[in-house]
Structure 1
């Protein structure tokens, strides 16, 4: 895997097979945009109404780096951190969004990357425990 040409948006470390900077995988926007794009329309607990998100499936990214573990520790630019079971990414179509309602996400509006669950597609995802897993300003995943 090539090294990023621009400043990385996301680092993945831990139990991964493919790396490009030391023992981590670093991704800039251009690298992430090579993944198959998906869209998701859902409500959130921090915005009004239904929002239309675009990005890529987290499971596709984790497959790309050869991630193997039981959990992903997701960290954000604001130092928020939470453990997410890896099973979530296979059970649900969890999106790593970089746009919302047609606009590229910025740090000011929960970007540049936001973990988005298909909340409206599964009653189970309306539980507050899942709301905590919607990490905005995501910048690091550690696979354990």
Structure 2
């Protein structure tokens, strides 16, 4: 860690420009989301079958991506949405960045957006669905951080009419780990 700071200081003093995007996770925070596909400014390279064991297990392949830590996602503008679906015991209030803002931060554009959970569930959305601005990538619900083993750390969430042809809560993936944009 100290080496990174010394190197950065040397670069700063010598006037050498540093790349505009640091690789998420370099500061010790784990990556919680990887955006793949049409990413204009990637901050990571291709899938590594060993290091990206879950992606490899899910048969995911990519040649570049943009990664986010939880802090990166919390630094984006936050939105709050409320929803109560038929099978839920109560209304839930969730907070996180809009899916549109996450894609914008990653420099990702496309007509087809696939949001993949850690279990492989991967609902697909259109650019028009995302442009509605109702889909958020929740990092907390009812004022509490989302945890692994529950719906977290990231939960694709939104109120009724969040996307075209929405059927109750169908399409809201929890334990989201990847977004693929084509």
Both proteins in one fold, TM over 0.5: yes
| Paired residues of 1:74 and 1:142 also in contact (CA < 8 A) | yes
CA distance in 1, matches of 2:101, 2:136: 10
Contact 1:118 1:125 in 2 (8 A): no
Shift, 1:105, TM fit = 0.6
Unaligned runs of 5+ in 1: none
Q: Return the offset for 1:37.
A: 1.2
What residue number does 2:121 align with?
Answer: 80
- The whole-number CA distance in structure 2 between the counterparts of 1:30 and 1:91 is 25
Aligned with 1:81: secondary structure? coil
What is the match of residue 56 of structure 1? 97
State the secondary structure of the residue aligned to 2:139.
strand
Asked if structure 1 preserves the Cα contact closer than 8 Å seen for 2:130 and 2:163, the reply is no
Which residue of 1 is the match for residue 140 of structure 2? 99
Match of 1:12 in 2: 35
Q: Which has the higher contact order (CA 8 A, sep 6+)?
A: 1
TM-score, length-normalised on structure 2? 0.71
**C-alpha deviation, 1:131, in angstroms:** 3.0
Q: In 2, are the aligned partners of 1:92 and 1:118 still within 8 Å (CA)?
A: no
Show the counterpart of 1:66: 107
Deviating beyond 3 angstroms after TM superposition, the runs of 4 or more aligned structure 1 residues are 122-127
